[in-house]
Structure formats: C-alpha cells, structure tokens
Copies of this chain bind each other. A is one copy, B any other.
C-alpha cells in the first residue's frame, strides 16, 4: 500500500469540513439564551481540531455497511465530549494552560466559572445529541442505547476521566512504563475505541468486527500518544500552536523520557503496524483507517 501524505491530508480535510458543518447544525446558536454560555460553547468547539473522533464514528458506520449520514449526531457527540475534556483540562486547577492551538483557552476568554459550566454544558449536550441519532433512518433504538452506554463508560471515571485522574497523580513523579500505558489507554484510547465502536454498533456490526475495531483503536491510541510525546520534543511551535518542551519542563514521564527518541519512533511504527494487522478482516474497505494510522507517523500538529 502506497501512502501519500498530501493526498491523505486533503481527504482528512474534506471529512473535517463535513464534521464542522454537522457540528454547526447540532450546537445551539450563539444568541440562544443565555448567550454567554452558547458563545463559549462554540468558541470551545470551533477550535481548529482535526475531528478524529467523529471521523472514526463515521468510519465505523461505513465498515458496518452503513453510511456516515446515519451516525452524524453520534459523531458530533463524540467531538463535544472531546472538547469538554479540553476545556476542563486547561482550567487553572488542572493543567493551567493559557493557549490551545494558538488561541487563548476558554477560561482565559470567558472566565473560570463560565469555562467550568461550558464543559458541563458540552458534556450534557453530547448525550442530548446522541439521543437525536434516533431520528436517523435505519437506527435501532436498542443499538443506540448500547452505543450511548459504551460511550458513557469510555468517557467516565473508569475511562477518560480516570485517565485524567492518573495524569494529575503522575505530576512531578516518575511513573513506570506499565502505569504510563494504563494512563494513555484511559485518557485517550478509550474515547477512540468508543468512537469507532459506537458508529459500528449503530449500523449493526457483529461482535467479531467490533473486536477488530477495538484492537485497532488500542494500537492507534498508542501510536497517537507516542507521536504526541515526540512532537513535544521535536515539533514546531508555530504548527502545534503551543510551546514545545513543556513535558520536560513539567518533568512528565513520556515515551522519549523513558526510551529516548529513536526507540520511541520504533514503538510508534510497531503500533501502526499492529493497527494495520487488526484491520485485515475488513480488507480494502478499511483503507482510510489504515492511512489514518500511517498519518500519525507523519503528522506535525
């Protein structure tokens, strides 16, 4: 398989634009009462993000024999959850970040109280939007409830939020490789897993297919995190929209700090290889997800 980064970047951009249009539709207008929170919600969501999670929801649907249109509300909901988690992670009591992708963080613009409420509102809106997937043709309510259940589990105290708790506990102390893997699996891997599976569940994928997607998501999460750590060492601030070297300054345990850059790159490549292997049952249908894994090795932001 030939991987063409420019061509694939354009493919991602088309999907990102489609997701942004969908989010426009499923988020309340800025002047909805009370306006300050609805402005802040849109500020937090339209932030230049790559929309990986909604794209995954839609790919899961397609691999299950459905269409991306069928799972639009679920896809938007996964992005809302991701965006709420960024707003809360950036808060002064958490990571205390002033900038994200080159723009002032939500609490810097709207104040801390409104930022807390904006995160709460996005998380709530995510579940509201999920229930609206009922309006889509060919979606079984029992499948939808199962998908909501899986997403809630992945985003909760034994999933993404649990990962954030571990991340806070890991500040200013060295953790070992096993702890680091658990932290990343919870903090980023669980939501990738839920995204792929939710779209596939809504379109009736069987358990074998769901297990293959789960394996892909696990290795994708690893590759994504390792390259994230590498970018913090070697990336360009202008492209990342945030200062590089912050992990080292904060004495965070990362792949480069545990293994060095060279070995970290190898580990990322191995994870991507595992992604490709996981997708074999789907054949050429899974080309996009294969390329998405390869893309993590080449990303610069």
Give A155 Cβ to nearest chain B Cβ, in Å. 5
Contact of A121 among B117, B149, B156 (CB under 8 A): B156
Give A31 Cβ to nearest chain B Cβ, in Å. 12
Count of residues in A whose CB is under 8 Å from the partner chain:
51
Known: A32-B158, A169-B34. A94 touches B123 (CB 8 A): no
> What sequence of 0s and 1s flags, for each residue 139-150 of chain A, a beta carbon within 8 Å of any chain B beta carbon?
001101110110
Is A62 located at the chain interface by the 8 A CB criterion?
no
Is A88 located at the chain interface by the 8 A CB criterion?
yes
Known: A120-B119, A148-B131, A157-B125. A37 touches B93 (CB 8 A): no
In the complex, identify which listed stretch (A108-116, A201-209, A282-290) lies at the interface while the others stay far away: A108-116
CB-based contact B114/A161 at 8 Å: no
Cβ contacts under 8 Å, A148 to chain B = 127, 131, 148
Cβ contacts under 8 Å, A297 to chain B = none
CB-based contact A124/B156 at 8 Å: yes
How far, in whole Å, are A149 and B132 apart by their CA atoms in the complex? 8
CB-based contact A116/B144 at 8 Å: no
Cβ contacts under 8 Å, A36 to chain B = 165, 169
Copies of the protein in its oligomer = 2
CB-based contact B164/A117 at 8 Å: yes
How far, in whole Å, are A291 and B41 apart by their CA atoms in the complex? 41
Give A136 Cβ to nearest chain B Cβ, in Å. 12
How far, in whole Å, are A296 and B112 apart by their CA atoms in the complex? 34
Cβ contacts under 8 Å, A41 to chain B = 157
Give A157 Cβ to nearest chain B Cβ, in Å. 4
Contact of A116 among B32, B94, B146 (CB under 8 A): B94
Known: A121-B157, A125-B157, A157-B38. A116 touches B131 (CB 8 A): no
Is A22 located at the chain interface by the 8 A CB criterion?
no
CB-based contact B93/A116 at 8 Å: yes
How far, in whole Å, are A127 and B149 apart by their CA atoms in the complex? 8
CB-based contact A124/B34 at 8 Å: no
A38 and chain B: residue at smallest CB distance:
B157
Give A250 Cβ to nearest chain B Cβ, in Å. 15
Query: 13 A–B contact pairs at CB < 8 A?
Result: A28-B157, A34-B166, A88-B116, A93-B93, A93-B113, A119-B120, A124-B152, A125-B157, A127-B127, A127-B148, A128-B149, A128-B152, A148-B148
Sorted nearest first, the 9 A-B pairs with minimum C-beta distance are A128-B152, A93-B112, A121-B157, A141-B141, A131-B149, A124-B156, A127-B127, A93-B113, A34-B165
